A and B are shown apart, each in its own frame.
Chain A
Amino acid sequence: MAFRWSRWSPQFALAPAGGVTLVAFAGSIGWTIWMSLTRSRRFADYGINWDEWSRQYVRLLKDDIFITALKNMVVLGVGSLLAIVFGFILAAMIDREKRGEGVFRTVFLYPLAVSLIVTGLAWRWLFNPTLGVENFLHQIGLPWARFDWLNYPETAMYGIILGTVWQGSGFYMALMLSGLKSINSEIWSAARLDGVSFWRLYLEIIIPMMRFTFLTCAILLSLGVVKAYDMVYAMTNGGPGQSTWVPAYYTIDAYWQKQNLGLASAAAVVMLAITVAIFLPLVLITAWQQRRQEARAQ
């Protein structure tokens, strides 16, 4: 067959992206997995001792700090679900009460334009025990109030959760709003005619109709949690001690501080595994739900 330029030119144009995907993503992931099986320290050591291939992983699992990091990640994930709930409530309210929608949306969304470092620093300042919110609460007559969560290992993660919820709720609100708007307006009319109560309407009708939006938010949230770094760095630097370490933190510390490439790679692979473990079921559920919806529509 003759050479058809229209067939080949798009393929040439896709070559850079394909190359990037192959090398920077696929190749890199493969390389890191390889490294996690080696004893590389500061530099890459490509030899794998197959008797001890899981050495780094065992080390990770035995490391209390890594376990703490994993626990923190779970805590952060669960706590961040508040952002989705909060975002939904805000969206529902804005959608119901059309007044001032533009203003409220602008206010709720601006945190997304702010760097996580800046956000973290602001919250760190707010959590300052002597000069921050705690002091304020004491002054207005609540001497027993405590807002120094970042100073204690048990409560530090909650402070980070608060900061994360503050930053993320607007985003989920925006997603929920567009999900709400896509609901056929006749549903609202029908509900009014039927006299369905406020709560029942939302719980039994609206929320189920927004399954996809919720699933999308869940996917995005879980991935954000796995990647969380900037916020932790800015708010607590991992402290007090190592009580607010998250896996991303651990990985970066293992590479730069401990100069242990093998260990860092293993931690990164664990992060990837967690991502896949969360991502796959959620996406499958989404796809399954979508197929069910399409089948029903036929």
Chain B
Amino acid sequence: MPRVQFEKIVKTYGRVTVLKNLDLEIEDGEFVVLLGPSGCGKTTLLNLLAGLIDVSSGRIQIGGKDVTDLDPKDRGLAMVFQSYALYPTKTVRGNLKFGLAAAKLDHAEQERRIAWAAKLLQIEPLLDRKPAQLSGGQRQRVAIGRALVKQVPVFLFDEPLSNLDAKLRTETRIEIKRLHDETRSTIVYVTHDQIEAMTMATRIAIMNAGVIQQFDTPDAVYERPANLFVAGFIGAPAMNIFPATISTAGGKPSAVLKGVDSRIDLGGYAFATAPREGDSVMVGLRPEHFLAPNQTDGDVAARFSLPVQYTEKTGADATGYFRTDHGLMAVSVSPDRIGELRQGDVAALGFPHGKVHVFDAAGGQRL
């Protein structure tokens, strides 16, 4: 039985529909990340699950129980907020205790849970301090602790790492993953950062404009994006996407790119439906899959000869941008070699078999 179930969720604000007939099932113990750009509806979905806002229509079930009409505190959930939302006039202990006292737990049990959570998150020395006296990272741990002490099966996270600096973000990410492993709870996590999604999730639900584009494991989302949106969203730098037409000359399918003088050999591509001559498609090539420039001997799916537009170097990575008639082609290059590419130079680029992505030009679906 799935732990969390969304059925035909519709949410409108006046004339604006934010979520249209959304279905989602989350299994027990999963770490599901709702990923998407601003305004895609992920936070709305989380708030609907929490009960902080009401659905316009549809049903939400938690642990098999219909919670659509229940108050947040009756749903068996705990939530961690982006800005921590600690009660400013209470000590850390008071913050942890508030929900427990409201649930009318007896004193001994409250103390036991607070001690357990404090130990788990290493915030024992902070118990008598007020939030104003804590650092950002400490506050975040207290916020997580406040959720932990409720000992519920489902935890909700609303972009909890956004307010932390980069170093803290990495540390807390590991921390949250560790907690997930130890408590074996179900986690629903909202973020717009794909790194967080890729590193923490068991499955990612990528959303855009109120619709779930793909709900799959991180690997699947990366290697087999279901449509153009997912393909362009996952991966940095973003996947190169070019329009092309299918040619079936010689019995072997290939794509003729528009605006780039090249033909991509699509032999071996697992088409869902057989391609036809002249079909309009969009071809996706990830920058990190290109072979090193000017080393294109061997069996490649496609060869390009393109002039360098400019290069970017960021310490550990480097990217070369090549000019085509259809925009820039981004290619990941080893930082050692990026210096060899000077603006205007024409480089030979090779793309290996098996890494090409083909999408329908009209609907964006993966072919």
Binding site for B on A (CB under 8 A): 1-2, 4-6
By the criterion CB–CB under 8 Å, are A6 and B69 in contact?
Answer: no
Is residue B105 within 8 Å, beta carbon to beta carbon, of the partner chain? Answer: no
By the criterion CB–CB under 8 Å, are A1 and B71 in contact?
Answer: no
Q: DSSP majority for the B interface?
A: loop
**What are the interface flags for B39-77 relative to A under an 8 Å C-beta threshold, 1 for contact and 0 otherwise?**
000000000000000000000000000000111100000
For the complex, what is the distance from the CA of A86 to the CA of B72, rounded to whole Å? 55
**What residue of chain A has the Cβ atom nearest to residue B69's Cβ?**
A2
Q: Smallest Cβ distance from B59 to chain A, in angstroms?
A: 13
Q: Smallest Cβ distance from B194 to chain A, in angstroms?
A: 33
Which residues in window 104-145 of B have CB below 8 A to A? none
For the complex, what is the distance from the CA of A4 to the CA of B70, rounded to whole Å? 7
Residues on B with beta carbons closer than 8 Å to the beta carbon of A1: 69
Residues on B with beta carbons closer than 8 Å to the beta carbon of A5: 71
For the complex, what is the distance from the CA of A2 to the CA of B72, rounded to whole Å? 14
For the complex, what is the distance from the CA of A4 to the CA of B73, rounded to whole Å? 11
**What residue of chain A has the Cβ atom nearest to residue B72's Cβ?**
A6
Q: Smallest Cβ distance from B65 to chain A, in angstroms?
A: 12
Q: DSSP majority for the A interface?
A: loop
Listed A/B pairs (8) with beta-carbon separation below 8 Å: A1-B69, A2-B69, A2-B70, A4-B69, A4-B70, A5-B71, A6-B71, A6-B72
Residues on A with beta carbons closer than 8 Å to the beta carbon of B72: 6
Residues on B with beta carbons closer than 8 Å to the beta carbon of A6: 71-72
Q: Smallest Cβ distance from A237 to chain B, in angstroms?
A: 52
**What residue of chain B has the Cβ atom nearest to residue A2's Cβ?**
B69
For the complex, what is the distance from the CA of A5 to the CA of B102, rounded to whole Å? 14
For the complex, what is the distance from the CA of A4 to the CA of B72, rounded to whole Å? 10
For the complex, what is the distance from the CA of A1 to the CA of B71, rounded to whole Å? 12
Residues on B with beta carbons closer than 8 Å to the beta carbon of A4: 69-71
Which residues in window 174-220 of B have CB below 8 A to A? none
For the complex, what is the distance from the CA of A5 to the CA of B72, rounded to whole Å? 11
Residues on A with beta carbons closer than 8 Å to the beta carbon of B71: 4-6
For the complex, what is the distance from the CA of A1 to the CA of B55, rounded to whole Å? 13
For the complex, what is the distance from the CA of A4 to the CA of B69, rounded to whole Å? 7
Residues on A with beta carbons closer than 8 Å to the beta carbon of B70: 2, 4
For the complex, what is the distance from the CA of A1 to the CA of B67, rounded to whole Å? 12
Q: Smallest Cβ distance from B139 to chain A, in angstroms?
A: 26
Q: Smallest Cβ distance from B349 to chain A, in angstroms?
A: 46
For the complex, what is the distance from the CA of A2 to the CA of B70, rounded to whole Å? 8
Q: Smallest Cβ distance from A297 to chain B, in angstroms?
A: 22
**What residue of chain B has the Cβ atom nearest to residue A5's Cβ?**
B71
**What residue of chain B has the Cβ atom nearest to residue A6's Cβ?**
B71
For the complex, what is the distance from the CA of A6 to the CA of B70, rounded to whole Å? 9
Q: Smallest Cβ distance from B57 to chain A, in angstroms?
A: 13
**What residue of chain B has the Cβ atom nearest to residue A3's Cβ?**
B69
Which residues in window 68-89 of B have CB below 8 A to A? 69-72
**What residue of chain A has the Cβ atom nearest to residue B51's Cβ?**
A6
Other than the given A2-B70, A4-B69, 7 more pairs (CB < 8 A) read A1-B69, A2-B69, A4-B70, A4-B71, A5-B71, A6-B71, A6-B72
For the complex, what is the distance from the CA of A79 to the CA of B137, rounded to whole Å? 61
Q: Smallest Cβ distance from B138 to chain A, in angstroms?
A: 31
Q: Which 7 A-B pairs have the closest CB atoms?
A: A2-B69, A6-B71, A1-B69, A4-B71, A5-B71, A4-B69, A2-B70
For the complex, what is the distance from the CA of A93 to the CA of B70, rounded to whole Å? 59
For the complex, what is the distance from the CA of A48 to the CA of B72, rounded to whole Å? 55
For the complex, what is the distance from the CA of A6 to the CA of B75, rounded to whole Å? 13
For the complex, what is the distance from the CA of A242 to the CA of B69, rounded to whole Å? 67
Q: Smallest Cβ distance from B327 to chain A, in angstroms?
A: 32
For the complex, what is the distance from the CA of A5 to the CA of B71, rounded to whole Å? 8
For the complex, what is the distance from the CA of A5 to the CA of B69, rounded to whole Å? 11
For the complex, what is the distance from the CA of A1 to the CA of B54, rounded to whole Å? 12
Residues on A with beta carbons closer than 8 Å to the beta carbon of B69: 1-2, 4
Q: Smallest Cβ distance from A222 to chain B, in angstroms?
A: 37
Residues on B with beta carbons closer than 8 Å to the beta carbon of A2: 69-70
For the complex, what is the distance from the CA of A46 to the CA of B72, rounded to whole Å? 52
Which residues in window 265-320 of B have CB below 8 A to A? none
Q: Smallest Cβ distance from B46 to chain A, in angstroms?
A: 18
**What residue of chain B has the Cβ atom nearest to residue A7's Cβ?**
B71
